[in-house]
């Protein structure tokens, strides 16, 4: 009959590589025997001593993982903070961008409200699941193999503490500004040749306005890079931002107001009886451009002025203020 010690040792050895089993078998049995003898010498019966010694050793599979030097977790404490930061960044940047592109493509292909909502929800779940799965898989492989772990799991030091400089332009603002400007340029170009057989936007504007808009968006990208290099909000930053915002907002509003924005040959808008969807959409876009432009100009100027005067600014998520 197999003894309790044998059952415990055999269970542990199942998770040990073949070449290590003989050595660990002897080491583990010797450790158990020493613990049992110590308990018997203190007055316990041998049967009770065996049970107490094995209970103290704990789960044999977890013990085997320690012997084999194999982690019993998917992502360990060295990599977990980096995994969490990377996944959070991707979910807040890549996910909304991909879903937005999918919704726009669905609107241009078949603007039925049910399909638009269904596509958005499906894209949100699918892309989110893929991001979580693949990022986690890569980190799990690094955790198990150790390949590159030393390079990405650097020891923490005081220099890693956030500076909480409320008047500085953050890396997130740089990334979001560059990404959205790039997406707008890509969308402007691609709608001319893809999505639908008939371009959504008026092709006649390629003679002047669309190239000008692309040039302004490129300047917008350089602006975000410049602001990040400057490191904060200054009066010069506020002035350049206002000039760029006005430079592309005014022409777009004029094109929308004079019915020169959308292609008159494109008839893919959702048909609503008794309503001119094109006019409604143009009006909404004008409102968004004007309100958004004013908000951007005022917000940037406000930040620059507070930074110049050294006024305290509340740091989001902390309840504290930066001076």
In the three-class reduction of DSSP (H, G, I as helix; E, B as strand; rest coil), residue 36 is classed as helix
Q: Specify the pLDDT at position 306.
A: 80
Q: Specify the pLDDT at position 1.
A: 42
- Calculate mean pLDDT across residues 144-173: 63
Lowest mean pLDDT of 2-6, 30-34, 71-75, 132-136, name the range: 71-75
- Calculate mean pLDDT across residues 31-50: 89
CB under 8 A, 24+ apart: contacts of 114-120: none
Helices 171-193 and 209-230 meet at what angle, rounded to 10?
170
Handedness of CA 213, 186, 198, 275 (dihedral sign): negative
What is the overall mean pLDDT for the chain? 80
Paired with 322 in beta bridges are 313
Per-residue confidence at 323, pLDDT binned at 50, 70, 90?
very low
List, in sequence order, the alpha helices (H) in the chain.
4-13, 21-41, 46-57, 60-68, 80-109, 113-145, 149-152, 171-193, 209-230, 235-257, 277-309
What does the DSSP assignment read for 161-198?
Answer: S----TTSPPHHHHHHHHHHHHHHHHHHHHHHHSSSSS
Query: pTM for the full model?
Result: 0.53
Within a 10 A sphere around the Cβ of 93, how many other Cβ atoms? Answer: 14
Which of the 8 DSSP states describes residue 321? E
Q: Which residue has the tokens 């936007």?
A: 201
pLDDT in tens, 182-219: 888 888 888 777 766 778 888 999 999 999 999 999 99
pLDDT in tens, 56-77: 888 887 777 777 766 666 777 6
What lies within 8 Å, CB to CB, of 167 at 6+ separation is 232, 233, 303, 306, 307, 313, 322
Q: Specify the pLDDT at position 140.
A: 83
Q: How far apart are CA 306 and CA 97, in angstroms?
A: 32
- Calculate mean pLDDT across residues 262-282: 70
CA-to-CA dists, residue 118 to 45, 99, 102, angstroms: 68, 11, 11
Q: How far apart are CA 175 and CA 178, in angstroms?
A: 5
pLDDT in tens, 240-258: 999 999 999 999 999 999 9
Per-residue confidence at 166, pLDDT binned at 50, 70, 90?
low
Is pLDDT at 46 greater than 80 in this prediction?
yes
Is pLDDT at 315 greater than 80 in this prediction?
no
Domain limits of the chain? 4-68, 74-154, 164-323
Helix (H) or strand (E) holding 314: strand 313-314
Q: Specify the pLDDT at position 210.
A: 93
Q: How far apart are CA 124 and CA 289, in angstroms?
A: 26
- The residue among 180 and 292 whose pLDDT is bigger is 292
Q: Specify the pLDDT at position 318.
A: 46
Handedness of CA 96, 102, 106, 107 (dihedral sign): positive
Percent over 70 (pLDDT), the chain = 77
Q: How many CA atoms lie within 13 A of 279 on its CB side?
A: 4
Q: Which residue has the tokens 């008839």?
A: 267
pLDDT in tens, 86-113: 888 888 878 888 887 777 777 666 666 6
The two structure tokens encoding residue 268: 């893919």
């Amino acid at each position: 009959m197999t003894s309790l010690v044998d059952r415990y040792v055999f269970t542990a050895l199942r998770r040990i590589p073949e070449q290590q089993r003989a050595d660990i078998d002897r080491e583990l049995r010797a450790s158990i025997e020493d613990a049992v003898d110590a308990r018997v010498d203190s007055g316990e019966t041998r049967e009770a001593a065996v049970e107490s010694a094995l209970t103290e050793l704990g789960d044999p599979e977890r013990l085997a993982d320690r012997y084999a030097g194999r982690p019993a977790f998917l992502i360990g404490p060295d990599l977990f903070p980096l995994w969490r930061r990377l996944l959070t960044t991707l979910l807040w940047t890549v996910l909304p961008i991909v879903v937005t592109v999918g919704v726009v493509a669905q609107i241009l292909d078949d603007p039925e409200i049910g399909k638009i909502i269904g596509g958005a929800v499906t894209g949100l779940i699918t892309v989110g699941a893929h991001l979580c799965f693949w990022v986690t898989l890569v980190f799990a492989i690094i955790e198990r193999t150790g390949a590159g772990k030393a390079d990405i799991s650097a020891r923490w030091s005081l220099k890693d503490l956030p500076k909480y400089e409320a008047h500085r332009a953050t890396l997130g603002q740089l990334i979001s500004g560059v990404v959205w400007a790039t997406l707008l340029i890509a969308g402007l170009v691609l709608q001319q040749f893809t999505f639908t057989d008939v371009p959504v936007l008026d092709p006649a504007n390629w003679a002047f306005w669309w190239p000008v808009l692309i040039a302004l968006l490129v300047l917008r990208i350089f602006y975000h890079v410049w602001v990040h290099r400057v490191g904060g909000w200054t009066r010069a930053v506020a002035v350049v931002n206002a000039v760029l915002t006005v430079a592309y907002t005014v022409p777009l509003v004029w094109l929308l107001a004079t019915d020169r924005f959308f292609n008159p040959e494109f008839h893919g808008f959702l048909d609503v009886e008794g309503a001119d969807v094109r006019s409604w959409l143009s009006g909404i876009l004008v409102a968004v451009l004007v309100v958004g432009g004013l908000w951007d100009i005022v917000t940037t100027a406000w930040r620059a002025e507070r930074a110049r005067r050294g006024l305290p600014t509340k740091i989001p998520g902390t309840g504290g203020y930066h001076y």
